Structure 1
């Protein structure tokens, strides 16, 4: 066939464990379960990191985190090292990225390889008057009444009120719908439908990222009481919870997260139906996955005193075991792939399609997941946080196939723990085995030379820092 289109859909922060596609109890992904009849579903897929910037850099280049070194929000990646540049420069593809992700689209340069960039659309620092406060100046959630109270107690009350009105009604920055999956899918569909040749695109969708705010239609397991609890949490919630120890709050709002996944599942139905209706689905390599999962208080298997919160630290299976659904051009017969798979295989899978072959995300030897977060726990966690140094990175893991299961060896400083993963729902520690295997793997990694030098890593504007905080990132 002619050069196939390429569409990578990253359901940001979605973990396999909470998808009914992976045997979760709540019916969060009814569409993807049906879609699996014409796609390959990888049951043992791993993200290369627990952090958007590091995972995206690995997916885009095929390099592991220790090789590319793109681990900070403001890190830069050589655009020419990505599969997107290769597709454009060597194969004549038009490329586009569509995402509300501030880490991908603003703080880093991960959008640089693309011809067309849409998002993020919100501007958290936009204001009509420089004198006066704006909604972005206030940390956490606030009602209109609370904001007005702050305005009247400020040095420029009327200008502050105008800033709030401008931010809400004229700039559109506070409208969540503007950053929803369907908005970006529509933008992508308009763009792809007007291309004259092959196209390659990335959709990064944030509906399941903190804050967990599903539309009423999909909020099937939450409700108003959980929404109120959610809104009472500070941003980022991980800092508050790890200090106060109120882990039950984080576990409770997981039900809202389930609704967010259901919302994204509906968005995938809309996306695939739209491509099918105009005859493009069979001409497209469609990869639906995630860059990392979320933690809701699960205890680390390496250090049980550490509980994981969202994707701020750790290398827990809930953070690295991600969905992977692949529909090759022309469709498939509903393959369930039980072999270990890694998202770093994405560039090679694309290259296989260009050669009119069906590539696989399965790995022959091992998969790797790593994060340096938190690099400075003593700086980003409050002094009142117990044992805050125990949350510091790096956290490392190596996976390899063991019969019909996957064996994981992970470490955190001197602590090493092997475990066995049977599925997204079932895993358990097992103390026998070669823990030195992990060290041998990491010792072989070399710098790939694709990261910008430290001098090239720009500091972030205060407005960007504020938006990252509101999205739950520890800064």
Structure 2
């Protein structure tokens, strides 16, 4: 352990799950979704051209935690695990005496046996925000229990009725139904309780701490509290409840205008998280833990609301299940170094995969380091791991299939994006503006992606072997509802 650990800066990563750059006020969005982030930007570094490593949570978080791109770390499906000892969190704990904590309802971080929860000393997920924490929950019960088996176990518990209610609430979350009761239960699974769990945890730390908070509010089904539902309203919520699943849009079982309309509710969830962020920062200031904390706020991937694909004219994006469009990978990124007080704008290409190196530099430096940033001259992003999950929803061999990759490169005052989706290759030129619009699209076999993917998986980083039998029924059910199994 580093003998000077008590003087080390704290580390806080806040991931706004599914939040794309274009829907934040920071990136010119018309709805005032992020007023606090605009204020926070005046004393932090804003990276306008940040890209997520992947279009979905699992590979993106592994890349952030390890500093390794998805095509190298290979942890891109639910049947793989992250090997031990590769994350910044473990190294902070082992080498510098940090307390580490995770606060989220993200099923891949907190529940699925993919190794991410294991890298933190403290991990608080959905079990900590149930109505009756003293009672049984599906995660606390014996693994593999059927619903009937869970009820039988509850009846033997000290709090049988409360345990059953906890189980019902857990089953209700993630289900988009017409039931007002279930709708209310889903709304409990928002950022507020996780923020409170983090605040309570950080106030009990006696030495340096490092935490990751992941807020799921902006993930479908987009259910902002009424306080923050400024652009949606009851009519849109009624439309939302009428939709069986997001895959109904590409299957053309629902009209695309409904998908576009859901963006207004999505904006409300971003506004909700923005207000919660303000509460977290205020608390850190109150307990004198703000100045000496390196705070990074970002999204792990974006979200689609009917945008047309640049390379497949018959494809429109919904949620984050396929393709490699900018709505899926262009994310907000703000980084406040310890004792930073002046805002800074960086317009170079930036990668979330750099989080590992940026934090390592902060911890190793005797004073605030400016030399290591999130900017990279080139990067690889991918959708790998999602294709096999599309068969259940969209059928095999459809226009939505094929692993998608993109190689981003800095080229003068433009950003070049070399894509490969299945066998389709293209070169997309992006303007270096807040929303990074496409200036031109050229369908051509460039070979840049194949060359970039020549690096194989890094030995020892991942462990293959997790099967569906290793996943408890409640977690498996939630993964299925979210479209990951």
Report the TM-score when normalising by structure 2: 0.85
**Count of aligned positions:** 445
Partners of 2:293 and 2:48 in 1: CA distance? 22
Partners of 2:107 and 2:288 in 1: CA distance? 33
Determine helix, strand or coil for the equivalent of 2:297.
Answer: strand
Which stretch shifts more, 447-456 or 313-322? Answer: 447-456
Task: State the 1:406 CA deviation.
Answer: 1.6
Match of 1:264 in 2: 273
- Aligned match for 1:444, one of 434, 455, 480: 455
Q: How does 1:209-228 map to 2 (within 5 A)?
A: 209-228=219-238
Partners of 2:87 and 2:313 in 1: CA distance? 38
Determine helix, strand or coil for the equivalent of 1:37.
Answer: helix
Which stretch shifts more, 425-434 or 211-220? Answer: 425-434
Q: How does 1:223-238 map to 2 (within 5 A)?
A: 223-235=233-245, 237-238=246-247
Partners of 1:281 and 1:114 in 2: CA distance? 22
Match of 1:92 in 2: 97
Task: State the 1:286 CA deviation.
Answer: 0.3
Q: How does 1:325-336 map to 2 (within 5 A)?
A: 325-336=334-345
Match of 2:392 in 1: 380
Structure 1: 5+ residue stretches without partners: 148-167
Name the Cα RMSD after superposition.
Answer: 2.7
Q: How does 1:280-429 map to 2 (within 5 A)?
A: 280-356=289-365, 357-358=369-370, 360-376=372-388, 379-383=391-395, 388-422=397-431, 423-428=433-438, 429=440
Which stretch shifts more, 218-227 or 430-439? Answer: 430-439
Partners of 1:293 and 1:361 in 2: CA distance? 22
Change (3 A) 1:462 1:10: same
Match of 2:474 in 1: 463
Residue-by-residue CA offset, 1:56-87 (whole Å, 9 max, x unaligned): 01000011101111111342101311111100
Determine helix, strand or coil for the equivalent of 2:119.
Answer: coil
In 2, are the aligned partners of 1:338 and 1:404 still within 8 Å (CA)?
no
In 2, are the aligned partners of 1:96 and 1:114 still within 8 Å (CA)?
yes
Q: How does 1:123-202 map to 2 (within 5 A)?
A: 128=151, 136=171, 140-144=175-179, 175-176=185-186, 178-202=188-212
Task: State the 1:194 CA deviation.
Answer: 0.7
Partners of 1:238 and 1:424 in 2: CA distance? 30
Partners of 1:351 and 1:184 in 2: CA distance? 26
Partners of 1:224 and 1:74 in 2: CA distance? 40
Change (3 A) 1:448 1:457: farther
Which stretch shifts more, 120-129 or 265-274? Answer: 120-129
Determine helix, strand or coil for the equivalent of 2:78.
Answer: coil
- Aligned match for 2:67, one of 56, 62, 68: 62
Report the TM-score when normalising by structure 1: 0.87
After TM superposition, the runs of 4+ consecutive aligned structure 1 residues lying more than 6 A away are 130-133
Match of 1:30 in 2: 35
Residue-by-residue CA offset, 1:414-449 (whole Å, 9 max, x unaligned): 211111222342422332998222222111344343
Change (3 A) 1:224 1:129: farther
Partners of 1:175 and 1:319 in 2: CA distance? 28
In 2, are the aligned partners of 1:76 and 1:456 still within 8 Å (CA)?
no
Task: State the 1:234 CA deviation.
Answer: 1.4
Task: State the 1:281 CA deviation.
Answer: 0.7
In 1, are the aligned partners of 2:101 and 2:212 still within 8 Å (CA)?
yes
In 2, are the aligned partners of 1:377 and 1:389 still within 8 Å (CA)?
no
Match of 1:79 in 2: 84
Change (3 A) 1:361 1:315: farther
Q: 2:441 aligned with 1:435, yes or no?
A: no
Partners of 1:282 and 1:139 in 2: CA distance? 37
Change (3 A) 1:452 1:363: same
Partners of 2:82 and 2:213 in 1: CA distance? 19
Partners of 1:51 and 1:435 in 2: CA distance? 26
Task: State the 1:232 CA deviation.
Answer: 1.1
